[in-house]
A and B are shown apart, each in its own frame.
Chain A
């Protein structure tokens, strides 16, 4: 390929283990940043722009007190589950708009155990909504997948396949949190949390950090043996007809989704189609979310998911390996880090140095998708362009 100077590449990537963490949030973040810098042989003083995301109380821009007071501009983003995707987009756009060469992205969180405890007022809802038990994320996921399974004639057992696949990938991934295999039957027979979702079909909040170093095309090949081109990144919000968390009402008629819109935009910007994708990362906050997002991103036709799982299409040697690090189900969700974890995994797969199971056949094209409250999605296309001639 001929590298264009406006092309943006990922040249360094690092993550921490995900799970429970007793230390400071910033300590995790620092570890990830130093790992990403080491991955491409740079130091903090080489970074011209930084973007940090967390859903917690710490200030990402204060990481400079640990990393070095170099005077660089440090942008903070906070977009719930989509934080990682937004951070990546912000860094990419900043490099292009300000004609810079090198940026660092970091996402981290260190959550207390248990389901997120949401406050009605933060979502513009009355106290009644929380008091009557409507404001529960697990019931939202259940209501959404129950409707989706019904509309597309998909068997409930598909949810068990999704869970079993996640834990199967995770058992070989050194940074995943839950690495104990779970069979389809075990997933289906576990305690029911919210029909049709059982205990093994939800991810939990936990701790972790991920960092990436981005570089312009003119620098990328000096810094990294196999830089991965960020071919596109697109962010979209909800339109009427979407089904979002904490919604006292939905509009009838055609269903829309920010994931559909963001994926479509990311594919168009990159000049590829979903059929070109060889390894993908999808937001699997619960098993049902993975099933829905396979359809909404266009990677699988709505209703074909059940057969595709059964036929092993999403396994490491299948047509389209999905969530090869175990996804959110096995990594948990440190909200600020989760989207960048996806990008980290795709970068490593495309570079042929996966931390866990490696997709065979030197995949070239990868895709990532995050989705979260209050109805936003960010998708990216990543391409290994091969050696520069």
Chain B
């Protein structure tokens, strides 16, 4: 039996699994639209028949930017350094998230989902999701 891990994340509802990391989305039973994070009704066809699903963990960079100044609160960080944000095309849905490991990207670059350190909470590290380049 594996030892239960307790990884603290920014919001547990974003994930179907934290280890290995998998994002949770909603799939509409009526029109097939996928959204992130999970919601109660379909924004495309207004159906209430939606279910939580695991989203793909690999995709391509759809757009990117690097944040060169520290955002105002409620942004939280231990120490600001410029970081990249992108939209990643997962096929079923395009998801916004951190792009980690570097600050210059190319649209179309292949990436996969990882956990990334968001900030430190007293002694615990709090993680969010990000995407890093497939090497």
Known: A126-B11, A249-B93, A251-B93. A136 touches B63 (CB 8 A): no
Report whether A115 and B85 are in contact in the complex, using a CB–CB cutoff of 8 Å. no
Contacts of A251 on B, CB cut-off 8 Å? 33, 35, 44, 93-94
Asked whether, in the complex, the Cβ of B95 is within 8 Å of the Cβ of A248, the reply is yes
Q: How many residues does chain B have at the interface if contact means C-beta atoms less than 8 Å apart? A: 45
A73 on interface, CB distance cutoff 8 Å: no
Contact A252 B89 (CB under 8 A): yes
Does B131 sit within 8 A of A, measured CB to CB? no
Query: B-contacting residues of A (Cβ < 8 Å)?
Result: 114-115, 117, 119-120, 126-128, 130-136, 139, 142-144, 146-147, 150, 191-197, 240, 247-252
Interface: B71 (CB within 8 A): yes
- A119 and B71 CA atoms in complex are apart in Å by 13
> In the complex the two chains form, is A252's CB within 8 Å of B91's CB?
yes
The answer, among B44, B94, B96, for a CB contact under 8 Å with A240, is: B44
Q: How far is the CA of A323 from the CA of B10 in the complex (A)?
A: 43
Quick one: which of B13, B63, B119, B128 contacts A146, CB cutoff 8 A?
B63
State whether B63 touches A144 (Cβ < 8 A). Answer: yes
Compute how far the CA of A248 lies from the CA of B118 in the bound complex, rounded to whole angstroms.
Answer: 17
Return chain A residues, CB-CB under 8 Å to B87: 143, 147, 250
Most buried by B among A132, A136, A150: A132
**Other contacts beyond A133-B85, A195-B65, A196-B65: 6, CB < 8 A:** A119-B74, A130-B74, A250-B96, A251-B93, A252-B89, A252-B92
- Tally the A-B contacts, defined by beta carbons under 8 Å: 115
**Contact residue among B33, B63, B73 (Cβ-Cβ distance under 8 Å from A147):** B63
User: Complex Cα distance A139/B86, Å?
Assistant: 9
Of listed B65, B67, B85, B93, residue having the most chain A CB within 10 A: B65
**Please, how many angstroms separate the alpha-carbon atoms of A135 and B107 in the complex?**
21
The answer to whether A248 touches B85 (Cβ under 8 A) is no
Query: Closest residue to A140 on the B side, CB-wise?
Result: B65
- Tell me the minimal C-beta distance from B68 to chain A in angstroms: 5
What are the residues of chain A within 8 A of B69 when measuring CB–CB? 193
A146 CB contacts on chain B under 8 angstroms: 63-65, 107
Cα of A134 to Cα of B74 in the assembled complex, Å: 10
Asked whether B95 lies within 8 Å of A120 as measured between CB atoms, the reply is no
Quick one: given A120-B74, A131-B75, A191-B68, are A249 and B11 in contact (CB under 8 Å)?
Answer: no
Q: From residue A153, how far is it (CB to closest CB) to chain B in Å?
A: 12
**B77: chain A residues within 8 A (beta carbon):** 133
Contacts of B128 in A (CB 8 A): 128, 132
Point out the residue from B10, B92, B107 that lies within 8 Å of A131, measured CB to CB: B10
Q: Which of A119, A194, A248, A251 has the most CB of B within 10 A?
A: A248
Give the chain A neighbours of B83 by CB distance below 8 A.
Answer: 133
Closest approach, in angstroms, between the C-beta of B93 and any C-beta of chain A?
Answer: 5
Q: How far is the CA of A80 from the CA of B124 in the complex (A)?
A: 39
A126 contacts B68, C-beta separation under 8 Å? no
A303 CB to nearest chain B CB (Å)? 16
A196 contact set on B, CB distance < 8 A: 65
